[in-house]
A = this chain, B = another copy of it.
Amino acid sequence: MSLPSLRLTASLAALGAATVVLSAPATPAKADEGMWTFDNFPIATVNEKYGTNLDQAWLDRVRNAAVRLQGCSASLVSGEGLILTNHHCVVSCVQDLSDAQNDYVKNGWMPATREEEKKCPGQTAEILTDITDVTDRVTAAGAGLEGAAFVRARAAEIDKIQKEVCGDDQKLTCQVISLYRGGQYKLYKFRKYEDVRLVFAPEFQAAFFGGDPDNFNFPRYALDAAFLRAYEDGKPVSTPNHLTWNPNAPKEGDVTFVAGNPGSTSRLLTMAQLEVLRDQQLPITLIQTSELRGRLLEYATTSEEAKRVSVDPIFGLENSFKVYYGQQGALTDPAFMAKKRAEEQELRQRVAADPALAQRIGDPWAELERAAAAQRDLYLPYRQLESGPRSQLYSYAKAIVRAAKERAKPAAERRAGYSEADIAALGRRLAQDAPISDDIEKIQMSFWLSKTREYLTVDNPSVKALLGKESPEQIAERTVEGTRLADPAFRAEALAMTPEQLAASGDPMIQFVLANDDAAQAVRTQWEAAVSGPTSRAAEKIAQARFAVYGTNLYPDATFSLRLSYGQVKGWTYRGVTVEPFTYIGGLYERNTGAEPFNAAEDWLAAEGKVNKSTVYDFVSTNDIIGGNSGSPVINAKGEVIGAAFDGNIHSLGGSFGYDGELNRTVTVSTAAITEALRNVYNQPRLLRELGVRR
């Protein structure tokens, strides 16, 4: 049930869920900057710069073929629901379908017939069909109200809008998205498919050749591609609006488009906010991620089975680590910070120079400094007590406990995210069956408890309550061994219980969460009052200032909703070293050492005599992307798919805070390489036929 690990995860929300993200318009875009919405794409600019002939019909075709997965992006590439995405977007599914006897992560998933395609637990596929402006309704709902009443009225109106259009139809998703930090509210309506099956996944070692050392680097030799298929009523979905598969690689300088769902950017944080990130949140996140990484890496050496079940958690952790490390790299780069400081200074001066504007805006920068100071004090308790461990069982218990508590309140008083519909959706998620490793659960639990004690200290009352007379290891052992939450049937049962029934359930994980939930929620309340609430209000003011000063021809910060970026195939130069934009299949064999993670996959070794070594393998382009874009189709001027974006270079990670056209690059596996692999490595005539290429 866990989200696929995003190679391109840049979600600041993952920083212990405690980061305050400002979604706000960026400075007027230069170079190939921008993650544009489909209803505000700079068609004229692009046609002029790249000599293309884009029009609304082109945009509509692309939009109708773009697919949103959990935490990833994808595209329809045949008329029968075939979906191209990254291998790393489906690796959780491959692991879920595997067991100690059949390790499809290691060996690949390549059923010979459509009948053998298997459902990925919890996976959905969503296609954006309509965008409607609902700004007026949302803002009117809050007019004249303050504080909690204001928040509740707006949330209720948003809920109402979503219900009006989608009702309880499980085939639809309606989501009101706040863009430009509340400058706009748009209803995004999606066609949703809940039966998504795994069609093809290469061996992990082919998809992730070079492993963590090569991750976010280039040159690369990774077949990070996989195919899913959308089903409905047990049959493949008919999808006439799909992208045409072009099996030829682009040339240097060719224009490229990336359609996908960038998760989160924070390009408009103030200096006070960036400094708290740099000084506290990122360092602590990097430190904790590193220790956990060390624990899991060492655990993975203890047996073959330990190694197998650790693949996905370690991949996710190492990927996150590198994202945070890249972000920290930007925030500790004196030149980068000087540029951010100059931008802030300019905006503040232009506001100050306009008395009417200054009057309307006030001093949100000072408010954010106060919020940042509060954040320094509250971050550790918030992170440790409220965000909790990366334990799946603990997450189940927490979701169930909180749902029970909220359900006990009248609907109008519940916290956001606990409407009846939300709880029903939770029930569907809890019903998904996926294997759980008790060993890893125990590591996650004991690690979290020991860090909570370390960072909050032994004498902190919440820590005392959490641990009692037990060690972190004892609690981990007792709660993981004793809980029934690994069983979906029990989860369903528990979700129907009242808090009192949960307390009496005798389940040690549920009881552990129950006993400490008040303290966790109390920290959340403090955090909302002193940090996230004031930050949100101040950010809205800064967004207004930017609209007033720079106009509205801007793109909004990423919100894990569909965007289009443009760019071109191009390498880069850094500290005197020039990196070429293409790698070729032959390079894989040169880089192969035979030692993990630089051991070429067995099927590739076997195919060395057959495969065309001059085929373009991976390539880089200037497109502006971020975590969540993984699996995005890379599209040429004709609207054909020429690859699947799967990574950024290390510089692109600073893209969370700003785009640098000289250095930031998208990394893509070419359709040319995928085609060659299906033909001469994996012998998949069935798929080649469906993609419409020569077998």
Chain A residues within 8 Å of B, Cβ to Cβ: 210, 212-214, 217, 219, 275, 278-280, 283, 286-288, 290-299, 302, 325, 328, 332, 334, 377, 443, 450, 453-454, 457-459, 467-471, 474, 575, 593-596, 598
Contacts and interface: CB of A to CB of B under 8 A. Distances in A.
A106 B280 CA distance: 37
A596 B473 CA distance: 9
Contact of A283 (B210, B286, B292, B450): B286
Contacts of A594: 469
Given A469-B594, A474-B595, A595-B470, A290 B283 contact: no
A133 B595 CA distance: 59
A280 B332 CA distance: 8
> Which 6 pairs across A and B sit closest by C-beta, in order of nearness?
A294-B294, A279-B332, A471-B595, A298-B298, A290-B290, A291-B294
Given A210-B458, A593-B469, A377 B575 contact: yes
Contacts of A299: 298
A374 to B, nearest CB: 13
A456 to B, nearest CB: 10
Given A217-B457, A283-B328, A293-B294, 19 more contacts: A212-B454, A213-B454, A213-B457, A213-B458, A214-B458, A280-B332, A283-B332, A287-B287, A287-B290, A290-B294, A291-B291, A295-B298, A298-B298, A298-B299, A298-B443, A458-B598, A469-B595, A471-B593, A471-B598
A605 B113 CA distance: 69
Nearest to A218: B459
A596 B471 contact: yes
5 contacts: A213-B454, A214-B458, A283-B286, A294-B295, A294-B296
Contacts of A286: 283, 286-287
Nearest to A596: B471
Nearest to A597: B471
A592 B350 CA distance: 62
Contacts of A294: 290-298
A268 B279 CA distance: 22
A213 B596 contact: no
Nearest to A275: B334
A314 B457 CA distance: 19
Contact of A291 (B210, B290, B328): B290
Contacts of A214: 458
A596 B475 CA distance: 12
Contacts of A459: 217, 219
Contacts of A457: 213, 217
Nearest to A328: B283
B217 A458 contact: yes
Contacts of A213: 450, 453-454, 457-458
A426 B212 CA distance: 39
A280 B329 CA distance: 9
Nearest to A593: B469
A439 to B, nearest CB: 10
Contacts of A453: 213
Contacts of A325: 287
Nearest to A298: B298
Nearest to A300: B298
Contacts of A275: 334
A513 to B, nearest CB: 20
A518 to B, nearest CB: 22
A452 to B, nearest CB: 10
Contacts of A293: 291, 294
A447 to B, nearest CB: 8
Contacts of A298: 294-296, 298-299, 443
A334 B467 CA distance: 33
A275 B551 CA distance: 37
A217 B280 CA distance: 20
A94 B35 CA distance: 61
A293 B280 CA distance: 20
A519 to B, nearest CB: 18
Contacts of A297: 291, 294-295
A658 to B, nearest CB: 17
A210 B459 CA distance: 11
A214 B294 CA distance: 23
A283 B457 CA distance: 22
A610 to B, nearest CB: 24
A457 B210 CA distance: 11
A454 B217 CA distance: 10
Nearest to A276: B332
Contacts of A210: 458
A219 B457 CA distance: 11
A467 B210 CA distance: 14
Contact of A302 (B288, B295, B302, B328): B302
Contacts of A291: 290-291, 293-294, 297
A450 B288 CA distance: 19
A670 B598 CA distance: 57
Contacts of A217: 457-459
A262 B151 CA distance: 56
A293 B454 CA distance: 14
Nearest to A650: B457
